[in-house]
Structure 1
Amino acid sequence: MGADALAGQGLAMLHALQQAHYQQGRRIAEPAVLAELAQELGLAAQAFHAELQRYSGQVLAEHLVASRRALAQLGGGGFPTLALERDGQLQVLDIGAYLGRPEAWREFLLRGLVEAQPATAQASCAVDGSGDC
């Protein structure tokens, strides 16, 4: 939250946190690790520390309550829970089979996006005459 408020770097910080935790085994709850990751993103150490303090305590507690409420409404079972929105409806995605398999996850997502594309009644015809000419 602090990286996002400070420089719109929330997603970049999330990515850095996930890599640090899951790939490097670092303790991302430690302020020194958070500060180091923020500096790697180009955030000023003192400014990030101030934002970290601002987003602790009650502000953080309220954010966690809202996150858990959204998770319960979605029907998710923990963090991370991912959902795909189609036609205003959210569908929880089962990511367990794809942990450690980023290419399979990518293919799953692409396949889902292609299947979600509306069919057209128009015939398609390629320059070479193939297709529905």
Structure 2
Amino acid sequence: MCMVYSLDWTPEKNRIVSASQDGRLIVWNALTSQKTHAVKLPCAWVMTCAFSPSGQSVACGGLDSVCSIFNLNSPTDKDGNLPVSIMLSGHKGYVSSCQYVPDEDTHLITSSGDQTCILWDITTGLRTSVFGANFNLGTLLTC
């Protein structure tokens, strides 16, 4: 049995995505408790997951320092696996959280153990903004 590390609801609250250390994202119909997708991940060590605002895709990240996005409407491969739509690489540490910008399927923000957050343009796979790279916590702590 594997520990579930993260979950997220669709905006309509009718589906849930869960991420666990078994190397799969599971999409659940919240009304029937039935699995609708079991997404095999490129890296089993996942820590976070999120539904896009439209509910058409899911994102996840973890110890591989990458945020992977899967389009739930994509055809599966010959083994029944859903292919990765895009991999967002740029963190120097594990991805601890990911969240879509509200009402936008095109932008996502990730946070990392490298003490940065990155805003991504999913359509291009490029970083839009990096937060925290030069942030001096010492100035925040002085009164």
| TM-score between the two structures when normalised by the length of structure 2 | 0.24
The structure whose residues are more often strand, as a share, is: 2
User: Looking at CA atoms only, which structure, 1 or 2, has the larger radius of gyration?
Assistant: 1
